[in-house]
Amino acid sequence: YRLFKIALYAKINGKIDFKELLGYTPPPQVGQNLSSQAFSLKIEQYKEIFTLLLKSEYELKTNPKLVKKEFLISNLLKLARILKN
């Protein structure tokens, strides 16, 4: 969520202000790492990730017959696929 927030803030404002985003100013190296990680994903990938997490949460809460271990492994594999693209 934090990386998504950084990417959107930069897209809207044209710059990154960590003080406003995080409430504090991280060390320069940490800020640079956060920025590079945030921009390594496209907005469409963030959308896919949040959709996957939302559907997974819904399924876990509503399906009592669900085999949770296999379901979670399956969703982790889907997440890995999204991150690789």
Q: List the one residue out of 49, 33, 44, 59 whose CA is nearest residue 1.
A: 49
Report residue 53's pLDDT band, with 50, 70 and 90 as the boundaries: very high
Q: Residues 38-60: what's their mean pLDDT?
A: 96
Taking residues 24-41, what's their average pLDDT?
94
Domain ranges of the chain: 2-39, 43-84
Q: What is the mean pLDDT of residues 71-84?
A: 96
State the pLDDT at residue 85: 85
- What would the mean pLDDT of 36-52 be, rounded to a whole number? 95
| Percent of all residues in the chain with a pLDDT value above 70, rounded to a whole number | 100
Indicate whether this model's pTM tops 0.75: yes
CA distance 24 to 52: 30
